[in-house]
Structure 1
Amino acid sequence: MTDTKKRVGLFVTCLVDLHRPSIGFAAIRLLEQAGCAVEVPRAQTCCGQPAYNSGDRGTARDLALAVLDSFSGFDYVVAPSGSCAGMLKHHVPHLFDDDPNLRAKADALAERTFELVSFLTDVLHVTDTGARFQRIVTYHDSCSGLRELGVKQQPRTLLRAAGATIVEMKEPEICCGFGGTFCVKYPDISIRMVSDKIEDAATTGADTLLAGDLGCLLNMAGRAQRLGKPLHVRHVAEVLAGMTDALPPIGEGPH
Structure 2
Amino acid sequence: MKAKINAMLLLILIVILPLRIVPTDGDSSHTNIGAFGGFGQYAQISRGCEGQIVDKDKIPFSEFGICIDHKTQSPLRYGIQASYFTFKELTEHWDEEQAYEIKTSSTENIIAAHPYANFEWKHFAFGFGFLFTNHTLLFSGDADEDIAKGMTSIYVRGGSLNKIYVDFSLSHMPPLLSGDNFRMGVGHRYPNFDLWGGIGYGMYDSIGLLFRSKLHLQKNLSLDIYSRFNEAARIYEYTVNMGLTYRFNK
TM range (shorter): under 0.3
Is the strand fraction higher in 1 or 2? Answer: 2
Q: Which has the higher helix share?
A: 1
Length-normalised TM-score, structure 1: 0.26
Q: Give the structure with higher Rg (CA).
A: 2
TM-score, normalised to structure 2, is 0.26
